[in-house]
Amino acid sequence: MNNLWAPWRTEYITSPKESVCVFCNAPKNKDPLILREGETCFAIMNRFPYNTGHCMIAPYRHVGDLTDINPQESLELMSLIQTIMKALRQALTPQGFNVGCNIGAVAGAGIADHLHIHIVPRWNGDTNFMPVISDAHIISEHIEKTRDKILRNLP
């Protein structure tokens, strides 16, 4: 029998959920998973990723809907998506990406009141039976090692 080890997931599952916004706190606390800070938005790795290299782009401003961001935030969100995708391509050579956001809790947003856009690198065959039968995702590389690869490939 193979053993799967993903210790960072236990921290998320067992920890009490913060009443403060993780997207508001990350820049203030200089979170080491932040990849890029812009004027209105920032890029950060997902601490509890769905796949290796899972990143997110969020505005600094606490806003929950795409229709509530201003033109400068909109432009910088898209620019950061492009920058992170280029770095992920160079660092991890994915064969594709899922890019998008969940607006509202019923749409799957875990943090519904602070808009964030997911960038999930994908590889042929990267999904398997584990999420279906055991509600487990397999992350193949430690998040800090992946972060370092991405940072080396940012312009």
**Residue labelled with tokens 């940012």:** 154
Q: Is 62 a catalytic residue?
A: no
Residue-by-residue pLDDT tens, the chain, 155 positions: 455 566 666 665 666 666 789 999 999 999 999 999 999 999 999 998 888 999 999 999 999 999 999 999 999 999 999 999 999 999 999 999 999 999 988 888 888 899 999 999 999 877 654 454 455 666 778 889 989 999 999 98
Give all domains of the chain, ordered by start, each with its CATH number. 19-152 (3.30.428.10)
Token digits of residue 89: 């391509």
Judge contact between 139 and 6, C-beta under 8 A.
Answer: yes
Of the candidates 54, 116, 118, 137, the residue annotated as catalytic is: 116
pTM for the structure as a whole = 0.78
Q: Which residues, at least 6 apart from 123, have a Cβ–Cβ distance to it below 8 Å?
A: 94, 95, 96
- Alpha-helical regions (H) of the chain: 7-14, 22-28, 71-92, 130-134, 143-152
